[in-house]
């Protein structure tokens, strides 16, 4: 919904003997409340693994989605989704086997961590 709801997970990338498909992006949360969806995992590639999908952005109150894992054969992990105000950023996706780089963790909310708030 517009005000509240979690983002859906991104789809998994297709498998390929050459370059695999990339994972889908996690859906964004509702405007006020909700967590971002998790990015889909990259597909397994014979030559190049697919890139993990990025996590979705959180609502004003909620956590960013986690990045998807890179596909085997060196696929890069997806980036974590950002939190907006009160919430944690999503975790970075791990790189795929065979030298894949990890993604970047999502930014935390602007007010997260202030003394006494939580």
Please write the tens of the pLDDT for every residue from 50-71. 999 999 999 999 999 999 999 9
Name the band, by pLDDT with cuts 50, 70 and 90, for residue 112.
Answer: confident
CA distances from 73 to 16, 24, 38, 80, 93 (A): 11, 18, 21, 21, 15
pLDDT at 29 over 90: yes
pTM: 0.91
Q: Sort residue 60 into left (φ over 0), alpha (ψ -120 to 50) or beta.
A: alpha
Instruction: Locate 110 and state its tokens.
Output: 């602007």
Q: State the pLDDT at residue 1.
A: 64
Of 80, 92, 89, which is closest to residue 109 (Cα–Cα)?
89
Name the band, by pLDDT with cuts 50, 70 and 90, for residue 116.
Answer: very low
- The mean pLDDT of 82-92, rounded to a whole number, is 96
Of 27, 87, 32, 30, which is closest to residue 63 (Cα–Cα)?
87
The 10 Å Cβ neighbour count of residue 99 is 12
Average pLDDT value over all residues in the chain = 93
Q: State the pLDDT at residue 10.
A: 96
For residue 77, what is the DSSP state?
P
Instruction: Locate 16 and state its tokens.
Output: 């390929």
């Amino acid at each position: 919904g517009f005000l509240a709801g979690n983002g859906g997970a991104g789809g998994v990338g297709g498998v390929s003997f050459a370059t695999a498909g990339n994972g889908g992006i996690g859906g964004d949360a509702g405007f006020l409340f909700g967590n971002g969806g998790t990015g889909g995992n990259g597909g397994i590639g014979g030559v190049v693994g697919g890139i993990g999908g990025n996590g979705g952005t959180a609502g004003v109150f909620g956590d960013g989605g986690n990045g998807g894992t890179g596909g085997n054969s060196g696929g890069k992990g997806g980036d974590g989704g950002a939190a907006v105000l009160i919430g944690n950023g999503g975790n970075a996706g791990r790189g795929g086997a065979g030298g894949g780089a990890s993604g970047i963790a999502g930014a935390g909310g602007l007010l997260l961590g202030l003394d006494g708030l939580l």
